[in-house]
Structure 1
Amino acid sequence: MHLTDFHAPDTLAARGALELARQYQSPAITAHALRSWLWAEAFARIDGIGEVDHELLYVAAVLHDIGTVTAFDNHTVSYEHAGGHVAVALTAGAGWPVERRARALDVIVRHNWPRVDPAMDAEGYLLEVATGLDISGARPEALPEAFRREVLAVYPRGALAAEFGACVLDQAARKPDTAARRLVDGGVIEKLAENPLERLSI
């Protein structure tokens, strides 16, 4: 498994998602988004998930944290719902039908679920396990170390632990009924610091 095995979709929605991410997110958060996409694609192979909407997965991965930035933060809903609605707006402009736009919202929201059943939502499952690896350090041994090192060399973690940690603490304090509170209570700050990917990045 190599980085060159995976190619970003060359579509209006995919290009737009990356442009939004780079315009509004920090380099560390955007690198996290792109690593999450690559981990998700790799887990699809490892876990034998054959039926995957790769464009949907890419758009959802790239935009899954965009609801944390000031321009898209929403004081009444969770950051994953806010980001999901950004994806709905983007994909509407790209001509996606209503049902597929709704899937973008679902996948982004479900990445913060404790667990997603792949039989119910393959893309949601893949983004959940991918972000679980990149944030909390879950299942690193499932992917070859050489591949993990290759991805981290191209998309380094940088200040992710500090930036995302501060962000999720802020979200949890302002929106205590959302998944951010569960993440904080579940020790996400410590998990970020202890993530084995941090050691591979050195």
Structure 2
Amino acid sequence: MKEDRTVATNGKSSIQIPDSKLAREVTELIRDTESELLFNHSIRVYLWGALLGERRSMRFDPELLYVAAMFHDIGLTSIYSESQLRFEVDGANAARDFLRSRHISEADVDKVWAAVALHTTPGIPEHMHAEIALVQAGAGMDVAGRGFEHFTDEQRNAVVGAYPRDTDFAHKMIDEFYHGMKHRPASTFGTFNDDFLAHKDPGFERVNLCSIILNSNWER
């Protein structure tokens, strides 16, 4: 029996999880790689993003949006426990390798790479391609409730009913971020990711850009 991949309603239309060969392959890869918490979170990011995209009459490729949403947090997994890159870049590179191995056009690869790499960078994605803007918007909705009021009760219940948020999701998600980045604290400089390290590790010291400037070789 074929799985019903229709999840969230949007007025008279519905949001469906893409059922292409590419989408099925990325689903299997992420399911085998991520925790259930991250897997469900990634699908919800797609659903929130797709709902927003339809609500705002944005033109986007559901398949590309889905791939980007599914890869956006893979950089937090144990696969990258020795990486010193930003976790977003690890995820973007993984998505790029996945798409290139399946002969997806470079223009589409670039969209997905940017969507994953920029999903924690405020103020920029919303001015780029729809897929890039919607991954950030979906992630912000699912983690921090940004834009919560733009969804109906029906939509929120449908998404969370199909792909539940864990009990105490907020603390568990903070733990996922912390464990994915504690071995590469330098990668959090200039981002809000250092908040996760500061929250979990009392000994973590933030880098201050003003101190860097004032103590640079130019000032000696």
| TM-score tier (shorter) | 0.7 to 0.9
Question: 8 Å contact 2:112–2:131 — kept in the other structure?
Answer: no
TM-score relative to the length of structure 1: 0.82
Question: 8 Å contact 1:115–1:128 — kept in the other structure?
Answer: no
Tell me by how many angstroms 1:2 deviates. 1.2
Change (3 A) 1:110 1:117: closer
Identity level (%): 24
Change (3 A) 1:60 1:179: farther
Q: Give the Cα separation in 2 of the matches to 1:27 and 1:76.
A: 25
The equivalent residue for 2:217 is: none
Query: Whose helix fraction is larger, Structure 1's or Structure 2's?
Result: 1
SS at the partner of 1:71?
helix
List aligned pairs for 1:56-75, cutoff 5 A. 56-73=64-81, 75=83
Tell me by how many angstroms 1:122 deviates. 1.3
Question: 8 Å contact 2:73–2:88 — kept in the other structure?
Answer: yes
Q: Structure 1: any 5+ residue segments left out of the alignment?
A: 190-202
Check if 1:125 corresponds to 2:133: yes
SS at the partner of 2:78?
coil
Check if 1:96 corresponds to 2:104: yes
The equivalent residue for 2:60 is: 52
Check if 1:183 corresponds to 2:190: no
Q: 1:161 aligns with which of 139, 159, 170?
A: 170
Query: Whose strand fraction is larger, Structure 1's or Structure 2's?
Result: 2
Q: Which amino acid aligns with 2:178?
A: L
Q: Give the Cα separation in 2 of the matches to 1:115 and 1:105.
A: 17
Check if 1:25 corresponds to 2:30: no
Q: 1:115 aligns with which of 112, 116, 123?
A: 123
Change (3 A) 1:10 1:154: closer
Q: Give the Cα separation in 2 of the matches to 1:101 and 1:174.
A: 29
SS at the partner of 2:79?
coil
State the structure with bigger RCO (CA 8 A, min sep 6), 1 or 2.
1
Tell me by how many angstroms 1:47 deviates. 2.4
List aligned pairs for 1:5-24, cutoff 5 A. 5-24=14-33
Q: Which amino acid aligns with 2:100?
A: A
